[in-house]
Amino acid sequence: MPTLIVTDRKGNEKTVTGDAGLSVMEVIRDNGFDELLALCGGSCSCATCHVHVDAAWMPKVGSAHEDEADLLDSSDHRTAQSRLSCQIPFTDELDGLKVTIAPED
């Protein structure tokens, strides 16, 4: 089972596991990070699952697609590493991925 390293809004880092085939958002949510709201449930229609991907992982994760980028534009906390976690498939290749939950808008 691949691991995901999540830093919460207080700066606490926690390593969790999740099933490949889920989204990064689902792995974060299923491991008790209540601050990641994910109000739309993963349908890419809000930005409440905004994360900052560790820069070293961006080549593997890739950039946001057009619809995702439009939603991220609404955030005051968008960076070059911003992604919606619901749009990142969690795969074995992402074992050890590091993300930080973005500040709430």
Q: Which residues are CB-neighbours of 77 under 8 A, at least 6 positions away?
A: 50, 102, 103, 105
For domain 3-101, the question of CATH label 3.30.465.10 is answered with no
pLDDT mean across residues, the chain: 97
pLDDT, tens digit (0-9, with 9 covering 90-100), for 45-96:
999 999 999 999 999 999 999 999 999 999 999 999 999 999 999 999 999 9
Angle among Cα 46, 104, 68 to the nearest 5 degrees reads 30
Buried/exposed 30-39: b ≥16 CB within 10 Å, e otherwise:
eeebeebbbe
Q: What is the pTM of this model?
A: 0.96
Give the pLDDT of residue 105: 87
